[in-house]
Every structure is written in C-alpha cells, then in structure tokens.
Homo-oligomer: A and B are copies of this chain.
Amino acid sequence: MEKKGISKAVLKRLPCYLNYLRGIPDTASPYISATSLANALGMGEVQVRKDLASVSNGGRPKVGYERERLILDIERFLGYDNTNHAVLVGAGKLGLALLGYGGFASYGLDILAAFDIKPSVDRAESGQPVLPMDQLKTFCRRHKICMGILTVPANQAQQACERLIESGIRAIWNFAPVHLEVPDHILVQNENMATSLAVLSMHLQAQMKDEG
C-alpha cells in the first residue's frame, strides 16, 4: 500500500472506521462491505469504498472485507501497530491529565515519563515518573524516544520544544496555543483547543444575533 499522498481528510475518516469496526460484536458476521460501513456511519458509499481500497487489498466483490483483517490493515496503515514511546513536557493539569488518560494505548501511544521545570509530584497517579527537565536528554536518548508531547504554557513552549529536539525527538504533539519554530525534519502536530473554542463560540454568537 502506498502511503504517500494520502489526504488528511482520509486520515481523519480512518479512525472513525476503525472505531466502528472494533465495536462490532464478535457474534456478528465476519465480513463487512463498504456499503454497510457507509450506511452505519452516515457517510458516502463511494468515499468509504475508495478509502478502504487505499488501505487494504482484502475487499472482495459481493462479500466485502474480512472484518478482522480490515481492522489490522487500518491499524497498520495508521501506525497503531508499532507502539510509539513518548515523553511529555509540562506536568501541569493538562499534562497530568493526558498522562492519566488510558485511551491512547489503543492508538499505539505509550507515554513513558513526564518532565517539568519544577515537578510538584514525583510520580503521576497513572504510575509514570515526573522528572526534572535536566534529565530529559539522558532519558530520551537512553529509551530512544522519538515523540514528545508539549503541554507547557505558551510562553515556555518554544524553549521546551528546543530541549525536545536536542534530546532527539522528531515528532512533537503541541498542546500549547503557539506557533513553534522547528527545523525541516521535525514534524509539529498542533492540537489547537483555542481555535476550536473560538469556532464554537462564534457559532453561538452568530445564532444569538440571528435570533435577536
């Protein structure tokens, strides 16, 4: 399967398919067609058919896909089958919350430790150590960590980002609402909650104006 050139829209739909497929009880038919998947999710049949064909070659006319195989194909495509070890920088409320959130495991993410300038606890409730920043580099190099999660305040984000890159991190999941300057080979994925809130808030304001 060719991964280059896959659109972000497809990437957004694949986890939806995966979730639905994982939720089908074992007692159901071991096969599923693009049509029934499309109907169940209220999505266009042509689109679903095309998406599935781009990640799995297990589809058969009239029969559909073998469910278990399709799940594996999507997981492999999304990289959920290789566990990604990560560190988290910024053990404030959001950071500790993400650390304690068990849901990432099913996406292949394992957060091994958190780091903070001034750790207020030495272990998260979920068991991972919370270490001082000066141990970041050694820890990342020893554990060959490539992914960093950034949950520091906006004004500390650039500096923390640079510490992560010095430590060998190549992909950064950024929860700080700020633009990060990074070299070309580093990927930053922004989780911009501030933008989401602005979109929601604007929708509500526009509705109130219409009403009145």
Contact = CB atoms under 8 A, between A and B. Distances in A.
A11 B191 contact: no
A196 interface: yes
Q: State how many copies of this chain the complex holds.
A: 2
* Chain A interface category by residue count: 35 or more
Nearest to A12: B195
A94 interface: yes
Interface string A73-85: 0000011101010
A136 interface: no
Given A20-B154, A78-B198, 14 more contacts: A8-B195, A11-B198, A12-B195, A84-B201, A93-B97, A93-B102, A94-B103, A97-B97, A107-B198, A173-B196, A173-B200, A189-B199, A189-B200, A191-B196
Interface of A: 3, 8, 11-16, 18-20, 23, 41-43, 78-80, 82, 84, 93-94, 96-98, 100-104, 107-109, 146-147, 154-155, 170-171, 173, 177-179, 181, 185, 187, 189-207
